[in-house]
Chains A and B, each alone.
Chain A
Amino acid sequence: MTGMLALYIFMLAAFTGYEVIARVPVILHTPLMSGSNFVHGIVLVGAMVALGHAQSTLGLIIGFIGVVLAAGNAVGGYVVTERMLEMFKSSGQNKKKEAH
Protein backbone atom coordinates (compact mmCIF):
# COMPACT_ATOMS: atom_id res chain seq x y z
CA MET A 1 0.00 0.00 0.00
CA THR A 2 1.57 3.28 -1.05
CA GLY A 3 1.26 6.40 1.06
CA MET A 4 -0.90 8.07 -1.56
CA LEU A 5 -3.33 5.15 -1.66
CA ALA A 6 -3.52 5.20 2.13
CA LEU A 7 -4.41 8.91 1.97
CA TYR A 8 -7.25 8.13 -0.45
CA ILE A 9 -8.58 5.51 1.95
CA PHE A 10 -8.28 7.99 4.81
CA MET A 11 -10.23 10.70 2.96
CA LEU A 12 -13.02 8.42 1.76
CA ALA A 13 -13.41 6.78 5.17
CA ALA A 14 -13.62 10.22 6.82
CA PHE A 15 -16.48 11.25 4.53
CA THR A 16 -18.18 7.90 5.06
CA GLY A 17 -18.06 8.25 8.84
CA TYR A 18 -19.49 11.75 8.67
CA GLU A 19 -22.32 10.80 6.30
CA VAL A 20 -23.26 7.61 8.14
CA ILE A 21 -23.70 9.50 11.41
CA ALA A 22 -25.13 12.75 10.03
CA ARG A 23 -28.75 11.61 10.18
CA VAL A 24 -28.72 9.86 13.53
CA PRO A 25 -31.58 10.84 15.87
CA VAL A 26 -30.54 12.18 19.29
CA ILE A 27 -32.25 9.25 21.02
CA LEU A 28 -29.51 6.95 19.73
CA HIS A 29 -26.51 9.15 20.55
CA THR A 30 -25.40 7.19 23.61
CA PRO A 31 -25.62 3.71 22.04
CA LEU A 32 -24.06 5.12 18.89
CA MET A 33 -21.10 6.56 20.76
CA SER A 34 -20.66 3.24 22.46
CA GLY A 35 -21.10 1.47 19.09
CA SER A 36 -18.41 3.57 17.42
CA ASN A 37 -16.31 2.96 20.52
CA PHE A 38 -16.72 -0.77 19.80
CA VAL A 39 -15.70 -0.28 16.15
CA HIS A 40 -12.31 1.19 17.08
CA GLY A 41 -11.84 -1.97 19.11
CA ILE A 42 -10.40 -3.18 15.77
CA VAL A 43 -7.18 -1.94 17.36
CA LEU A 44 -7.12 -5.48 18.80
CA VAL A 45 -6.00 -6.76 15.39
CA GLY A 46 -3.06 -4.36 15.40
CA ALA A 47 -2.15 -5.23 18.99
CA MET A 48 -2.19 -8.93 18.08
CA VAL A 49 0.16 -8.32 15.15
CA ALA A 50 2.44 -6.11 17.26
CA LEU A 51 2.67 -8.75 20.02
CA GLY A 52 3.03 -11.57 17.48
CA HIS A 53 6.03 -9.86 15.90
CA ALA A 54 7.63 -8.57 19.12
CA GLN A 55 11.18 -9.75 19.73
CA SER A 56 12.42 -8.07 22.92
CA THR A 57 11.08 -8.66 26.42
CA LEU A 58 9.97 -5.03 26.58
CA GLY A 59 8.12 -5.48 23.28
CA LEU A 60 6.40 -8.59 24.62
CA ILE A 61 5.29 -6.82 27.81
CA ILE A 62 3.97 -3.71 26.05
CA GLY A 63 2.41 -5.84 23.32
CA PHE A 64 0.65 -8.01 25.90
CA ILE A 65 -0.71 -4.93 27.71
CA GLY A 66 -1.88 -3.67 24.31
CA VAL A 67 -3.77 -6.89 23.57
CA VAL A 68 -5.40 -6.90 27.03
CA LEU A 69 -6.53 -3.27 26.66
CA ALA A 70 -7.71 -3.76 23.07
CA ALA A 71 -9.69 -6.88 23.96
CA GLY A 72 -11.29 -4.88 26.78
CA ASN A 73 -12.24 -2.15 24.30
CA ALA A 74 -13.74 -4.57 21.78
CA VAL A 75 -15.59 -6.88 24.18
CA GLY A 76 -16.75 -4.15 26.57
CA GLY A 77 -17.90 -1.93 23.72
CA TYR A 78 -19.92 -4.76 22.21
CA VAL A 79 -21.54 -5.90 25.46
CA VAL A 80 -22.75 -2.47 26.60
CA THR A 81 -23.93 -1.40 23.13
CA GLU A 82 -25.86 -4.62 22.67
CA ARG A 83 -27.43 -4.28 26.12
CA MET A 84 -28.59 -0.74 25.42
CA LEU A 85 -29.93 -1.41 21.93
CA GLU A 86 -31.74 -4.52 23.14
CA MET A 87 -33.98 -2.29 25.27
CA PHE A 88 -35.17 0.04 22.51
CA LYS A 89 -38.67 -1.14 21.66
CA SER A 90 -41.57 0.47 19.80
CA SER A 91 -45.13 0.53 21.19
CA GLY A 92 -46.07 -2.34 18.87
CA GLN A 93 -43.21 -4.53 20.07
CA ASN A 94 -44.09 -3.80 23.70
CA LYS A 95 -47.70 -4.93 23.19
CA LYS A 96 -46.54 -8.09 21.43
CA LYS A 97 -44.30 -8.93 24.35
CA GLU A 98 -47.10 -8.47 26.86
CA ALA A 99 -49.48 -10.61 24.78
CA HIS A 100 -47.14 -13.60 24.87
Chain B
Amino acid sequence: MNSLDPNMVRVIIDASYLLVAFLFIIGLKQMSSPVTARRGIVWAGFGMLLAVLVSFAYPGMSHYELILAGIGVGGALAWITGKRVAMTDMPQMIALYNGFGGGAAAAIGAVELFANSGEMSTVTLVLAIVGSIIGAISFGGSLIAFGKLQGLIKKTVRFSGLQFINMLLLLGSLMCGVMVAFGIHADSNTVALLFVLSLILGLTMTLPIGGADMPVVISLYNALTGLAVAFEGFVLQNAAMIIAGTVVGSAGTLLTQLMAKAMNRSLGNVLFSGFGDSGGAVAATGDVQGSMKPIEANDVGVMMAFAQKVIIVPGYGMAVAQAQHKVWELTQLLQEKGVMMKFAIHPVAGRMPGHMNVLLAEAGVPYDIIADLDEINAEFETADVALIIGANDVVNPVARNDKSSPIYGMPILNADKAKNVIVIKRGQGAGFSGIENALFYLDNTRMLYGDGQAAVAQLIQAVKAV
Protein backbone atom coordinates (compact mmCIF):
# COMPACT_ATOMS: atom_id res chain seq x y z
CA MET B 1 0.00 0.00 0.00
CA ASN B 2 2.84 2.37 0.88
CA SER B 3 4.27 2.22 -2.62
CA LEU B 4 1.03 3.59 -4.09
CA ASP B 5 1.20 7.12 -5.37
CA PRO B 6 -1.36 9.31 -3.50
CA ASN B 7 -2.48 10.76 -6.82
CA MET B 8 -3.11 7.26 -8.10
CA VAL B 9 -5.18 6.48 -4.99
CA ARG B 10 -7.22 9.63 -5.60
CA VAL B 11 -7.88 8.56 -9.21
CA ILE B 12 -9.00 5.10 -8.07
CA ILE B 13 -11.31 6.64 -5.47
CA ASP B 14 -12.84 9.05 -7.99
CA ALA B 15 -13.30 6.27 -10.55
CA SER B 16 -15.05 4.17 -7.88
CA TYR B 17 -17.32 7.10 -7.00
CA LEU B 18 -18.27 7.36 -10.67
CA LEU B 19 -19.29 3.70 -10.59
CA VAL B 20 -21.19 4.35 -7.33
CA ALA B 21 -23.15 7.20 -8.93
CA PHE B 22 -23.95 4.92 -11.88
CA LEU B 23 -25.16 2.12 -9.57
CA PHE B 24 -27.36 4.56 -7.59
CA ILE B 25 -29.05 5.97 -10.69
CA ILE B 26 -29.57 2.54 -12.28
CA GLY B 27 -30.88 1.30 -8.92
CA LEU B 28 -33.40 4.14 -8.61
CA LYS B 29 -34.45 3.60 -12.23
CA GLN B 30 -35.13 -0.08 -11.53
CA MET B 31 -37.04 0.82 -8.39
CA SER B 32 -39.57 2.57 -10.59
CA SER B 33 -41.10 -0.71 -11.78
CA PRO B 34 -42.43 -3.41 -9.45
CA VAL B 35 -40.85 -6.12 -11.64
CA THR B 36 -37.28 -4.87 -11.19
CA ALA B 37 -37.61 -2.90 -7.95
CA ARG B 38 -36.03 -5.51 -5.71
CA ARG B 39 -32.98 -5.73 -7.98
CA GLY B 40 -32.74 -1.93 -7.93
CA ILE B 41 -32.23 -1.61 -4.19
CA VAL B 42 -29.63 -4.42 -4.27
CA TRP B 43 -27.64 -2.59 -6.98
CA ALA B 44 -27.80 0.63 -5.00
CA GLY B 45 -26.71 -1.34 -1.93
CA PHE B 46 -23.60 -2.59 -3.75
CA GLY B 47 -22.88 1.00 -4.73
CA MET B 48 -23.03 2.08 -1.08
CA LEU B 49 -20.76 -0.77 0.01
CA LEU B 50 -18.19 0.12 -2.64
CA ALA B 51 -18.31 3.81 -1.70
CA VAL B 52 -17.70 3.08 1.98
CA LEU B 53 -14.86 0.62 1.27
CA VAL B 54 -12.87 2.91 -1.04
CA SER B 55 -13.35 5.86 1.32
CA PHE B 56 -11.13 4.13 3.88
CA ALA B 57 -8.27 4.69 1.40
CA TYR B 58 -8.83 8.47 1.34
CA PRO B 59 -5.46 10.24 1.61
CA GLY B 60 -4.56 11.70 5.00
CA MET B 61 -7.18 9.81 7.00
CA SER B 62 -6.74 8.70 10.59
CA HIS B 63 -9.01 7.66 13.51
CA TYR B 64 -9.98 4.43 11.70
CA GLU B 65 -11.04 2.83 14.98
CA LEU B 66 -13.51 5.65 15.64
CA ILE B 67 -14.89 5.42 12.11
CA LEU B 68 -15.40 1.67 12.39
CA ALA B 69 -16.98 2.03 15.83
CA GLY B 70 -19.36 4.73 14.53
CA ILE B 71 -20.43 2.63 11.56
CA GLY B 72 -20.85 -0.36 13.86
CA VAL B 73 -23.03 1.46 16.40
CA GLY B 74 -25.22 3.36 13.91
CA GLY B 75 -25.45 0.43 11.50
CA ALA B 76 -26.36 -2.13 14.17
CA LEU B 77 -29.08 0.06 15.73
CA ALA B 78 -30.60 0.80 12.33
CA TRP B 79 -30.37 -2.84 11.25
CA ILE B 80 -32.23 -4.09 14.32
CA THR B 81 -34.94 -1.40 14.24
CA GLY B 82 -35.33 -1.70 10.46
CA LYS B 83 -35.84 -5.46 10.62
CA ARG B 84 -38.36 -5.23 13.46
CA VAL B 85 -40.55 -2.30 12.44
CA ALA B 86 -44.13 -3.21 11.47
CA MET B 87 -45.26 -2.26 7.97
CA THR B 88 -47.92 0.07 9.41
CA ASP B 89 -45.14 2.03 11.17
CA MET B 90 -43.01 2.39 8.06
CA PRO B 91 -43.61 6.14 7.49
CA GLN B 92 -42.15 7.22 10.83
CA MET B 93 -39.18 4.89 10.43
CA ILE B 94 -38.39 6.43 7.04
CA ALA B 95 -38.71 9.86 8.66
CA LEU B 96 -36.27 8.87 11.39
CA TYR B 97 -33.59 7.46 9.05
CA ASN B 98 -34.01 10.51 6.87
CA GLY B 99 -33.48 12.77 9.88
CA PHE B 100 -30.25 10.88 10.63
CA GLY B 101 -29.02 11.73 7.14
CA GLY B 102 -29.81 15.40 7.65
CA GLY B 103 -28.08 15.35 11.02
CA ALA B 104 -25.01 13.74 9.46
CA ALA B 105 -24.87 16.41 6.74
CA ALA B 106 -25.10 19.10 9.44
CA ALA B 107 -22.34 17.33 11.41
CA ILE B 108 -20.04 17.39 8.36
CA GLY B 109 -20.77 21.08 7.98
CA ALA B 110 -20.02 21.64 11.67
CA VAL B 111 -16.68 19.81 11.54
CA GLU B 112 -15.61 21.81 8.49
CA LEU B 113 -16.84 25.16 9.80
CA PHE B 114 -15.27 24.76 13.26
CA ALA B 115 -11.93 23.56 11.84
CA ASN B 116 -11.35 25.18 8.47
CA SER B 117 -13.64 28.17 8.06
CA GLY B 118 -10.57 30.45 7.80
CA GLU B 119 -9.14 28.54 4.83
CA MET B 120 -12.29 28.05 2.76
CA SER B 121 -13.24 30.24 -0.18
CA THR B 122 -16.42 32.29 0.20
CA VAL B 123 -18.33 30.02 -2.22
CA THR B 124 -17.32 26.90 -0.30
CA LEU B 125 -18.18 28.59 2.99
CA VAL B 126 -21.63 29.58 1.74
CA LEU B 127 -22.32 26.03 0.54
CA ALA B 128 -21.11 24.55 3.84
CA ILE B 129 -23.37 26.95 5.74
CA VAL B 130 -26.46 26.41 3.58
CA GLY B 131 -25.95 22.64 3.73
CA SER B 132 -25.63 22.85 7.52
CA ILE B 133 -28.80 24.93 7.95
CA ILE B 134 -30.85 22.65 5.69
CA GLY B 135 -29.41 19.52 7.29
CA ALA B 136 -30.16 20.74 10.82
CA ILE B 137 -33.73 21.74 9.87
CA SER B 138 -34.28 18.33 8.29
CA PHE B 139 -32.86 16.62 11.39
CA GLY B 140 -35.06 18.50 13.84
CA GLY B 141 -38.14 18.34 11.63
CA SER B 142 -37.82 14.63 10.95
CA LEU B 143 -37.49 13.89 14.66
CA ILE B 144 -40.79 15.70 15.29
CA ALA B 145 -42.40 13.89 12.35
CA PHE B 146 -41.23 10.59 13.84
CA GLY B 147 -42.50 11.55 17.29
CA LYS B 148 -45.91 12.53 15.95
CA LEU B 149 -46.47 9.44 13.81
CA GLN B 150 -45.15 7.17 16.55
CA GLY B 151 -47.64 8.75 18.97
CA LEU B 152 -44.91 10.15 21.25
CA ILE B 153 -46.08 13.71 20.58
CA LYS B 154 -49.85 13.78 20.82
CA LYS B 155 -50.55 17.47 20.89
CA THR B 156 -50.46 19.67 17.84
CA VAL B 157 -48.86 22.80 19.22
CA ARG B 158 -50.16 25.82 17.43
CA PHE B 159 -50.46 29.44 18.48
CA SER B 160 -50.77 32.66 16.58
CA GLY B 161 -47.23 33.94 17.08
CA LEU B 162 -45.56 30.72 15.99
CA GLN B 163 -45.07 31.65 12.34
CA PHE B 164 -43.51 34.91 13.48
CA ILE B 165 -41.12 33.05 15.79
CA ASN B 166 -40.21 30.69 12.94
CA MET B 167 -39.50 33.70 10.76
CA LEU B 168 -37.21 35.14 13.43
CA LEU B 169 -35.41 31.79 13.79
CA LEU B 170 -34.88 31.57 10.03
CA LEU B 171 -33.60 35.15 9.86
CA GLY B 172 -31.37 34.50 12.87
CA SER B 173 -29.72 31.44 11.37
CA LEU B 174 -29.31 33.19 8.02
CA MET B 175 -27.71 36.17 9.82
CA CYS B 176 -25.25 33.84 11.57
CA GLY B 177 -24.52 32.29 8.18
CA VAL B 178 -23.80 35.65 6.58
CA MET B 179 -21.55 36.62 9.49
CA VAL B 180 -19.54 33.40 9.22
CA ALA B 181 -19.34 33.61 5.42
CA PHE B 182 -17.98 37.15 5.43
CA GLY B 183 -15.80 36.83 8.50
CA ILE B 184 -17.74 39.18 10.83
CA HIS B 185 -17.46 37.75 14.35
CA ALA B 186 -16.89 34.42 12.60
CA ASP B 187 -15.91 32.60 15.79
CA SER B 188 -17.09 29.25 17.03
CA ASN B 189 -19.88 30.89 19.07
CA THR B 190 -21.53 32.23 15.92
CA VAL B 191 -21.16 28.82 14.24
CA ALA B 192 -22.69 27.11 17.27
CA LEU B 193 -25.59 29.59 17.35
CA LEU B 194 -26.22 28.90 13.66
CA PHE B 195 -26.72 25.21 14.39
CA VAL B 196 -28.85 25.75 17.49
CA LEU B 197 -31.18 28.18 15.69
CA SER B 198 -31.61 25.93 12.60
CA LEU B 199 -32.27 22.91 14.78
CA ILE B 200 -34.95 24.73 16.78
CA LEU B 201 -36.46 26.01 13.53
CA GLY B 202 -36.77 22.41 12.30
CA LEU B 203 -38.62 21.51 15.52
CA THR B 204 -40.97 24.50 15.66
CA MET B 205 -41.69 24.38 11.91
CA THR B 206 -42.97 20.81 12.17
CA LEU B 207 -44.80 20.95 15.52
CA PRO B 208 -47.93 22.72 14.18
CA ILE B 209 -48.35 20.37 11.20
CA GLY B 210 -51.07 17.75 11.65
CA GLY B 211 -50.59 14.01 11.26
CA ALA B 212 -52.50 13.87 7.96
CA ASP B 213 -50.00 16.17 6.30
CA MET B 214 -46.96 14.27 7.55
CA PRO B 215 -46.32 12.36 4.27
CA VAL B 216 -45.75 15.62 2.43
CA VAL B 217 -43.51 16.84 5.22
CA ILE B 218 -41.44 13.64 5.35
CA SER B 219 -41.04 13.76 1.59
CA LEU B 220 -39.98 17.40 1.78
CA TYR B 221 -37.36 16.66 4.43
CA ASN B 222 -36.16 13.75 2.31
CA ALA B 223 -35.53 16.15 -0.57
CA LEU B 224 -33.93 18.69 1.79
CA THR B 225 -31.55 16.10 3.23
CA GLY B 226 -30.55 15.20 -0.33
CA LEU B 227 -29.74 18.85 -1.02
CA ALA B 228 -27.80 19.22 2.22
CA VAL B 229 -25.75 16.14 1.31
CA ALA B 230 -25.06 17.59 -2.15
CA PHE B 231 -23.90 20.91 -0.66
CA GLU B 232 -21.58 19.23 1.83
CA GLY B 233 -20.36 17.15 -1.13
CA PHE B 234 -19.25 20.39 -2.80
CA VAL B 235 -17.37 21.34 0.34
CA LEU B 236 -15.56 17.99 0.49
CA GLN B 237 -15.09 17.88 -3.32
CA ASN B 238 -16.84 14.52 -3.31
CA ALA B 239 -18.59 13.79 -6.63
CA ALA B 240 -20.55 10.78 -5.32
CA MET B 241 -22.16 12.95 -2.64
CA ILE B 242 -22.93 15.76 -5.08
CA ILE B 243 -24.59 13.45 -7.61
CA ALA B 244 -26.48 11.20 -5.17
CA GLY B 245 -27.59 14.16 -3.05
CA THR B 246 -28.79 16.19 -6.02
CA VAL B 247 -30.61 13.23 -7.59
CA VAL B 248 -32.47 12.68 -4.30
CA GLY B 249 -33.07 16.41 -3.94
CA SER B 250 -34.79 16.72 -7.29
CA ALA B 251 -36.54 13.35 -7.18
CA GLY B 252 -37.75 14.16 -3.66
CA THR B 253 -39.04 17.55 -4.76
CA LEU B 254 -41.05 15.88 -7.53
CA LEU B 255 -42.40 13.26 -5.09
CA THR B 256 -43.37 16.01 -2.66
CA GLN B 257 -45.28 17.86 -5.38
CA LEU B 258 -47.05 14.65 -6.46
CA MET B 259 -48.11 13.94 -2.88
CA ALA B 260 -49.29 17.48 -2.21
CA LYS B 261 -51.28 17.40 -5.46
CA ALA B 262 -52.87 14.07 -4.57
CA MET B 263 -53.99 15.61 -1.28
CA ASN B 264 -55.25 18.73 -3.05
CA ARG B 265 -52.97 20.96 -1.02
CA SER B 266 -50.17 23.25 -1.93
CA LEU B 267 -46.89 22.88 -0.14
CA GLY B 268 -47.19 26.36 1.35
CA ASN B 269 -50.61 25.47 2.64
CA VAL B 270 -49.26 22.34 4.36
CA LEU B 271 -46.38 24.21 5.98
CA PHE B 272 -48.09 27.41 7.01
CA SER B 273 -51.68 26.61 7.87
CA GLY B 274 -53.38 23.99 9.94
CA PHE B 275 -55.77 21.57 8.29
CA GLY B 276 -58.63 20.37 10.46
CA ASP B 277 -58.48 23.46 12.62
CA SER B 278 -62.02 24.35 11.78
CA GLY B 279 -63.21 20.74 11.87
CA GLY B 280 -66.36 21.49 13.84
CA ALA B 281 -67.49 24.35 11.66
CA VAL B 282 -66.76 22.48 8.46
CA ALA B 283 -68.96 19.55 9.40
CA ALA B 284 -71.95 21.85 9.70
CA THR B 285 -71.83 22.87 6.04
CA GLY B 286 -72.70 20.50 3.22
CA ASP B 287 -76.35 19.49 3.32
CA VAL B 288 -76.74 15.82 2.66
CA GLN B 289 -80.04 14.38 1.51
CA GLY B 290 -81.43 10.93 2.17
CA SER B 291 -80.54 8.45 4.87
CA MET B 292 -77.96 5.77 5.58
CA LYS B 293 -79.35 2.31 4.82
CA PRO B 294 -77.90 -0.64 6.75
CA ILE B 295 -77.35 -4.14 5.30
CA GLU B 296 -76.51 -7.57 6.73
CA ALA B 297 -73.26 -9.43 5.96
CA ASN B 298 -75.14 -12.42 4.49
CA ASP B 299 -76.81 -10.25 1.84
CA VAL B 300 -73.47 -8.68 0.91
CA GLY B 301 -71.93 -12.15 0.63
CA VAL B 302 -74.60 -13.28 -1.83
CA MET B 303 -74.35 -10.03 -3.76
CA MET B 304 -70.59 -10.37 -4.20
CA ALA B 305 -70.58 -14.10 -4.93
CA PHE B 306 -72.89 -13.58 -7.91
CA ALA B 307 -71.18 -10.43 -9.12
CA GLN B 308 -69.07 -10.23 -12.26
CA LYS B 309 -66.72 -7.63 -10.95
CA VAL B 310 -65.98 -6.32 -7.45
CA ILE B 311 -63.71 -3.39 -6.69
CA ILE B 312 -62.38 -3.09 -3.15
CA VAL B 313 -61.48 0.40 -1.91
CA PRO B 314 -59.29 0.08 1.20
CA GLY B 315 -58.37 3.01 3.43
CA TYR B 316 -56.11 3.38 6.41
CA GLY B 317 -58.97 2.22 8.64
CA MET B 318 -58.48 -1.24 7.16
CA ALA B 319 -54.84 -1.27 8.24
CA VAL B 320 -55.72 0.02 11.72
CA ALA B 321 -58.18 -2.85 12.08
CA GLN B 322 -55.46 -5.22 10.75
CA ALA B 323 -58.04 -6.51 8.27
CA GLN B 324 -55.81 -6.75 5.19
CA HIS B 325 -55.14 -10.49 5.56
CA LYS B 326 -58.87 -11.22 5.88
CA VAL B 327 -59.56 -8.99 2.89
CA TRP B 328 -57.11 -10.98 0.78
CA GLU B 329 -58.74 -14.24 1.96
CA LEU B 330 -62.12 -12.88 0.87
CA THR B 331 -60.63 -11.80 -2.46
CA GLN B 332 -59.24 -15.27 -3.15
CA LEU B 333 -62.57 -16.92 -2.28
CA LEU B 334 -64.40 -14.66 -4.73
CA GLN B 335 -61.74 -15.19 -7.40
CA GLU B 336 -62.34 -18.94 -7.12
CA LYS B 337 -66.01 -18.28 -7.80
CA GLY B 338 -65.03 -16.48 -11.00
CA VAL B 339 -65.55 -12.93 -9.78
CA MET B 340 -63.15 -10.40 -11.25
CA MET B 341 -61.47 -8.69 -8.29
CA LYS B 342 -59.65 -5.36 -8.27
CA PHE B 343 -58.25 -3.08 -5.60
CA ALA B 344 -58.56 0.68 -6.06
CA ILE B 345 -55.99 2.73 -4.19
CA HIS B 346 -56.22 6.46 -3.70
CA PRO B 347 -52.80 8.19 -3.79
CA VAL B 348 -53.14 9.21 -0.14
CA ALA B 349 -54.62 5.98 1.20
CA GLY B 350 -52.53 5.04 4.22
CA ARG B 351 -50.25 7.49 5.89
CA MET B 352 -48.04 8.01 2.92
CA PRO B 353 -48.61 7.65 -0.84
CA GLY B 354 -48.03 4.02 -1.73
CA HIS B 355 -48.26 2.94 1.91
CA MET B 356 -51.49 1.00 1.26
CA ASN B 357 -49.77 -0.91 -1.54
CA VAL B 358 -47.07 -1.98 0.88
CA LEU B 359 -49.67 -3.12 3.42
CA LEU B 360 -51.58 -5.09 0.77
CA ALA B 361 -48.34 -6.58 -0.56
CA GLU B 362 -47.53 -7.72 2.97
CA ALA B 363 -50.87 -9.55 3.13
CA GLY B 364 -49.98 -11.27 -0.16
CA VAL B 365 -52.12 -9.30 -2.63
CA PRO B 366 -50.33 -9.36 -6.03
CA TYR B 367 -49.60 -5.89 -7.41
CA ASP B 368 -51.22 -6.56 -10.80
CA ILE B 369 -54.76 -6.52 -9.35
CA ILE B 370 -54.06 -3.24 -7.54
CA ALA B 371 -54.91 -0.16 -9.58
CA ASP B 372 -54.39 3.51 -8.87
CA LEU B 373 -56.89 6.31 -9.32
CA ASP B 374 -56.26 7.07 -13.01
CA GLU B 375 -56.43 3.43 -14.05
CA ILE B 376 -59.52 2.44 -12.10
CA ASN B 377 -61.87 5.41 -12.18
CA ALA B 378 -63.40 4.54 -15.56
CA GLU B 379 -63.98 0.97 -14.36
CA PHE B 380 -66.35 1.70 -11.48
CA GLU B 381 -69.28 2.02 -13.91
CA THR B 382 -68.78 -1.61 -14.96
CA ALA B 383 -68.41 -2.90 -11.39
CA ASP B 384 -71.31 -4.67 -9.70
CA VAL B 385 -70.04 -3.97 -6.21
CA ALA B 386 -67.64 -1.38 -4.77
CA LEU B 387 -66.62 -2.49 -1.27
CA ILE B 388 -65.31 0.42 0.85
CA ILE B 389 -63.26 -0.60 3.88
CA GLY B 390 -61.94 2.12 6.16
CA ALA B 391 -61.89 4.80 3.46
CA ASN B 392 -63.98 7.95 3.70
CA ASP B 393 -62.98 11.31 2.26
CA VAL B 394 -61.29 9.76 -0.78
CA VAL B 395 -64.65 8.40 -2.02
CA ASN B 396 -66.75 11.44 -1.10
CA PRO B 397 -68.51 12.67 -4.26
CA VAL B 398 -68.86 16.21 -2.87
CA ALA B 399 -65.23 16.68 -3.90
CA ARG B 400 -66.53 16.52 -7.48
CA ASN B 401 -69.68 18.60 -7.27
CA ASP B 402 -69.95 20.77 -4.13
CA LYS B 403 -67.94 23.94 -4.58
CA SER B 404 -68.50 25.00 -0.96
CA SER B 405 -66.84 21.87 0.41
CA PRO B 406 -63.27 22.18 1.73
CA ILE B 407 -62.32 19.05 -0.19
CA TYR B 408 -63.81 20.33 -3.46
CA GLY B 409 -61.43 19.60 -6.33
CA MET B 410 -59.58 16.80 -4.55
CA PRO B 411 -59.23 13.83 -6.91
CA ILE B 412 -61.45 11.01 -5.61
CA LEU B 413 -62.23 7.42 -6.49
CA ASN B 414 -65.59 7.34 -8.27
CA ALA B 415 -66.95 4.50 -6.14
CA ASP B 416 -70.44 6.05 -6.29
CA LYS B 417 -70.65 5.07 -9.98
CA ALA B 418 -70.67 1.33 -9.14
CA LYS B 419 -74.04 -0.48 -9.32
CA ASN B 420 -73.89 -1.26 -5.60
CA VAL B 421 -71.74 0.41 -2.97
CA ILE B 422 -71.08 -1.38 0.32
CA VAL B 423 -69.42 0.64 3.08
CA ILE B 424 -67.90 -1.16 6.06
CA LYS B 425 -67.86 1.34 8.88
CA ARG B 426 -67.61 1.27 12.63
CA GLY B 427 -70.29 3.85 13.36
CA GLN B 428 -72.23 6.71 11.82
CA GLY B 429 -69.75 9.54 12.49
CA ALA B 430 -68.21 11.81 9.90
CA GLY B 431 -64.77 11.21 8.41
CA PHE B 432 -61.30 12.14 9.53
CA SER B 433 -61.70 15.66 8.17
CA GLY B 434 -65.12 16.04 9.79
CA ILE B 435 -66.89 16.34 6.44
CA GLU B 436 -70.15 14.47 5.87
CA ASN B 437 -69.79 11.84 3.15
CA ALA B 438 -72.56 12.12 0.55
CA LEU B 439 -71.67 8.65 -0.73
CA PHE B 440 -73.15 7.06 2.40
CA TYR B 441 -76.58 8.55 1.63
CA LEU B 442 -76.87 7.49 -2.03
CA ASP B 443 -79.66 5.16 -3.18
CA ASN B 444 -77.18 2.50 -4.32
CA THR B 445 -75.20 2.57 -1.05
CA ARG B 446 -75.64 0.19 1.88
CA MET B 447 -73.84 0.40 5.21
CA LEU B 448 -72.33 -2.68 6.86
CA TYR B 449 -71.65 -1.57 10.42
CA GLY B 450 -68.92 -3.17 12.49
CA ASP B 451 -65.22 -3.48 13.15
CA GLY B 452 -63.31 -3.90 9.87
CA GLN B 453 -61.76 -7.25 10.63
CA ALA B 454 -64.90 -8.78 12.15
CA ALA B 455 -67.07 -7.52 9.29
CA VAL B 456 -64.78 -9.02 6.65
CA ALA B 457 -64.67 -12.30 8.58
CA GLN B 458 -68.51 -12.36 8.45
CA LEU B 459 -68.35 -11.72 4.72
CA ILE B 460 -65.98 -14.66 4.28
CA GLN B 461 -68.45 -16.93 6.11
CA ALA B 462 -71.31 -15.56 4.02
CA VAL B 463 -69.51 -16.16 0.72
CA LYS B 464 -68.50 -19.66 1.81
CA ALA B 465 -72.14 -20.41 2.60
CA VAL B 466 -73.36 -19.45 -0.88
- B82 adjacent to A76 (CB under 8 Å): yes
- A42 adjacent to B114 (CB under 8 Å): no
- B242 adjacent to A76 (CB under 8 Å): no
- Selected from A68, A79, A93, A94, the residue in CB contact (under 8 A) with B83 is A79
- A31 adjacent to B354 (CB under 8 Å): yes
Chain A residue contacts of B91, Cβ below 8 A = 30
Of B53-61, B300-308, B380-388, B400-408, the stretch lying at the interface with chain A is B53-61
> Taking the nearest CB of chain B, how far is it from the CB of A88, in angstroms?
5
Closest to A29 in B: B354
Give the CA-CA distance A18 to B246 in the complex, in Å: 10
- B108 adjacent to A43 (CB under 8 Å): yes
On chain A, the number of residues with a Cβ less than 8 Å from chain B's Cβ atoms is: 84
- A67 adjacent to B67 (CB under 8 Å): yes
Take A20-B25, A34-B90, A49-B236 as given contacts and tell me if A83 and B82 are in contact as well, using a CB distance cutoff of 8 Å.
Answer: yes
- A30 adjacent to B353 (CB under 8 Å): yes
> Taking the nearest CB of chain B, how far is it from the CB of A99, in angstroms?
15
- A72 adjacent to B111 (CB under 8 Å): no
Give the CA-CA distance A1 to B241 in the complex, in Å: 14
- A40 adjacent to B236 (CB under 8 Å): no
Interface string of A63-100 (1 = CB under 8 A from B): 11111111111111111111111111111111000000
- A66 adjacent to B98 (CB under 8 Å): no
- B354 adjacent to A10 (CB under 8 Å): no
- A49 adjacent to B229 (CB under 8 Å): no
Q: B358 near A: Cβ within 8 Å?
A: yes
Closest to B77 in A: A72
Chain A residue contacts of B239, Cβ below 8 A = 1, 9
Q: B81 near A: Cβ within 8 Å?
A: yes
- Selected from A17, A71, A86, the residue in CB contact (under 8 A) with B248 is A17
Interface string of B356-392 (1 = CB under 8 A from A): 0110011010111110110000000000000000000
- Selected from B51, B96, B248, B352, the residue in CB contact (under 8 A) with A36 is B248
Chain B residue contacts of A41, Cβ below 8 A = 48, 97, 101
Chain A residue contacts of B295, Cβ below 8 A = none
Closest to A3 in B: B123
- B41 adjacent to A51 (CB under 8 Å): no
- B90 adjacent to A26 (CB under 8 Å): no
On chain B, the number of residues with a Cβ less than 8 Å from chain A's Cβ atoms is: 118
- A43 adjacent to B232 (CB under 8 Å): yes
- A14 adjacent to B258 (CB under 8 Å): no
Closest to A21 in B: B251
Of B26-34, B174-182, B446-454, the stretch lying at the interface with chain A is B26-34
Give the CA-CA distance A53 to B134 in the complex, in Å: 23
- Selected from B94, B250, B373, the residue in CB contact (under 8 A) with A18 is B250
Closest to B244 in A: A42
Chain A residue contacts of B90, Cβ below 8 A = 30, 34, 80, 84
Interface string of B99-120 (1 = CB under 8 A from A): 0110111011011101100000
Chain B residue contacts of A46, Cβ below 8 A = 104-105, 108, 229, 232-233, 236, 238, 241
- B247 adjacent to A39 (CB under 8 Å): yes
B85-99 CB contacts (< 8 Å) to partner A: 85, 87, 90-91, 93-94, 96-98
Closest to B256 in A: A33
Give the CA-CA distance A87 to B105 in the complex, in Å: 32
Closest to B51 in A: A45
- A42 adjacent to B372 (CB under 8 Å): no
Take A32-B32, A40-B229 as given contacts and tell me if A27 and B236 are in contact as well, using a CB distance cutoff of 8 Å.
Answer: no
- B244 adjacent to A29 (CB under 8 Å): no
- Selected from B58, B69, B93, the residue in CB contact (under 8 A) with A49 is B58
5 A-B pairs within 8 Å (CB atoms) are namely: A25-B34, A36-B28, A39-B44, A46-B236, A54-B115
Q: Which 10 A-B pairs have the closest CB atoms?
A: A66-B107, A67-B70, A71-B74, A79-B82, A29-B354, A76-B78, A52-B61, A17-B250, A70-B104, A17-B247
